[in-house]
Amino acid sequence: MCDDECAKFERKRVLADAFDINPPNLEALHFGENSSVTELIGDLYRRDPKWVLAVEDRCKYLVLSKSRGTTTGFKIHVFCPMLKDKRDAVRLIAERWKLAIYSAGWEPKHFIIIHATPKSKPPSRVIGIKGTTTLSASHPPVFDALVDMDPRLVVSFLDLPREADISSLVLRFGGECELVWLNDKNALAVFNDPARAATAMRRLDHGSIYYGAAVVPQNSGASLGSPATNVLGNGRHCNGRGRSQL
């Protein structure tokens, strides 16, 4: 039976594996960050390493890669709705990369949006990087329905001109999407139906295809079908309420 000391050593071992520290020691594991943050991420890494590495990869791609699919250079990613403990983990991991973080939606369809800023940079240690100090993100991560929002549900409004007015989105699609303002020039509309998102893309000025950190492989339409259904629930208005910067 494992006592307190045994359990503490096991936590340190898992953290050391996650952050490639050998031998494990508390001073190295904290590396200037809040110890509770390190332990929370390490505990989740022990339970679901694939998921933690997936979130880390998306943060890394936003910070280190060139912008993909846009001319504005605005790099953004929308995570799928998830339970609070995982949203908290996304926030903590994104904070390590100095990414801007937004929360939108209502339970149980609450979701997180992150984007790069001029202040974004790699943390002192990157989860999952072993045996090298060179960081790169030449290839985007592959879409994962347990991590990423279905891109068919998202419409981008990037680098909006000063005279732009997207209030028609609220009037025409009220109750069908979340409109999330990221700053005074950039916004996203997250719909609960890909067909309605496609309609908005065709009919609204300034709407464009959403490019997140993850890419969807070709011939994967079937795998996207399930999470796209009613992702925001019923009765949620496309008015930007329910979102906040974290």
pLDDT digits (tens, 9 = 90+) for 222-233: 456 544 445 555
Residues 184 and 148 in one domain: yes
Residues 17 and 111 in one domain: no
- Sign for the pseudo-dihedral over CA of 109, 110, 116, 122: negative
pLDDT digits (tens, 9 = 90+) for 57-66: 999 999 998 7
Residues 218 and 185 in one domain: yes
Residues 16 and 60 in one domain: no
Residues 93 and 169 in one domain: yes
181 forms beta bridges with: 187
β-pair type (154-157, 187-191): antiparallel
How far from each other are the two terminal CA atoms of the chain, in whole angstroms? 41
Residues 207 and 230 in one domain: yes
Residues 196 and 112 in one domain: yes
Across the beta sheet with 208-209, the strand order is 177-181, 187-191, 154-157, 208-209
Residues 91 and 182 in one domain: yes
Assign 168 to helix, strand or coil: helix
Q: Taking the model in full, what pTM does it have?
A: 0.78
Looking up tokens 């801007």, which residue turns up? 100
In whole angstroms, what is the distance from residue 198 CA to residue 25 CA? 52
CB 245 within 8 A of CB 104: no
Residues 69 and 104 in one domain: yes
pLDDT digits (tens, 9 = 90+) for 146-163: 999 999 999 999 988 877
- Encoding tokens for residue 234? 């019923």
pLDDT digits (tens, 9 = 90+) for 14-51: 655 655 544 444 443 444 456 667 777 878 888 899 99
Looking at residue 131, its pLDDT comes to 46
Structural domain containing residue 174: 50-245
Residues 183 and 143 in one domain: yes
- The total number of structural domains in the chain stands at 2
Of 11, 28, 47, which marks where a domain is finished? 47
Residues 40 and 154 in one domain: no
Identify the weakest region by mean pLDDT among 2-11, 40-49, 236-245: 236-245
178 forms beta bridges with: 190
In whole angstroms, what is the distance from residue 155 CA to residue 188 CA? 6
Q: 103 pLDDT exceeds 60?
A: yes
Residues 2 and 80 in one domain: no
